[in-house]
Homo-oligomer: A and B are copies of this chain.
Amino acid sequence: MQVFGHINGYPEGSSFHDRNEIKAAGLHKYHINGISRMLGVGCDCIVLNGGYIDDRDNGDEVLYTGEGGRPEGSAVQTFDQPFTKGNLDLSKNKFTRDPIRVIRGPKLRDSDFAPKDGMYRYDGLYYLEDYWPDIGKDGYRIWRYKLVKVDNSIIPPSASNIQTTRKPVTTNRINRDQSIAKILKKKHDFTCQVCGVRLESHGQPYAIGAHIMGLGEPHNGPDREDNMLILCPNDHYLFDAFAFSINDDYSLLGREGSLRTVLSHKIDKKYLAYHRERYKIAKQ
């Protein structure tokens, strides 16, 4: 049975000679492919092994490239990656928060974190923080996945000398200033700027403060009001998935209607332009 999380008997740091061993251990569904799919549900494991030129491996943070866009056997991308199969299933982990096992392989290029012994190595659990479309080095659309290592700073200091291949792991939590979202929600009276809905239960309103240009690598959008929107959960999903975007005159792109604005909340249009660019790549 395919499961999320650690596999009994294979702690972080476990080594494997080849993909068949990894498959037999139940860590990855396939003996080829990077993305181990749970069909229609999510992704339980990925392998980083230098297969995609656009991959970036920063250890605790990985920018992973989706699959496809290349003729079989070719290392060069000659068409856009579709948002189907493994690419679609991997995207679901953003919403389910299911953890993804990350395995690094011997062919990993340009990475300080590649195994040096010619083996594959299980490197623990990561969350999918975000995904978005981009143009890869070969000039075609790729789907980008930002994986962030599960914070295991819960290991107390006295455990630092234990005999494993574990490296100290820093927390990757992005510090958001929650007071910014709190003030902005009040300015909009918790009303969605896209559809105008205002959710409320037991007299308490609920809305989401969403960043237009994402925080952290690689976007590095600022944690400021002029890079934020107040959205209901439905429109937060759609905006984050690039189902629609927003023009400079606040009319919606790919959807009827206009953004609701209040004078006290200024939006910097360069962030809207950044989102629109991704919307257009997703759409192409």
Give the interface segment out of A49-57, A69-77, A110-118, A231-239. A231-239
Contact bitstring A159-180, B, C-beta under 8 A = 1, else 0: 1001110100001010000110
Task: Find out whether the CB atom of A83 lies under 8 angstroms from the CB atom of B204.
Answer: yes
In whole Å, how far is A122's beta carbon from the nearest beta carbon of chain B?
Answer: 10
The bracket for how many chain A residues form the interface is 35 or more
Q: Which of A21-29, A146-154, A265-273 contacts B (4 or more CB under 8 A)?
A: A146-154
Q: How far is the CA of A95 from the CA of B200 in the complex (A)?
A: 14
Minimum Cβ distance to chain B for residue A159 (Å): 5
A25-69 CB contact bits vs B (8 Å, 1 = yes)?
Answer: 000000000000010111000000000000000000000000000
A150 to B155, CA, bound (A): 12
Task: List the B side residues contacting A153 at CB < 8 Å.
Answer: 5-6
**Is residue A119 within 8 Å, beta carbon to beta carbon, of the partner chain?**
no
- Give chain A's interface residues, CB within 8 Å of chain B: 4-6, 11-13, 38, 40-42, 83, 88, 95, 97, 124-125, 150-159, 162-164, 166, 171, 173, 178-179, 182, 197, 199-204, 206, 232-234, 236-238, 241-243, 282-283
Closest 4 CB pairs of A and B: A11-B156, A201-B243, A233-B233, A201-B241
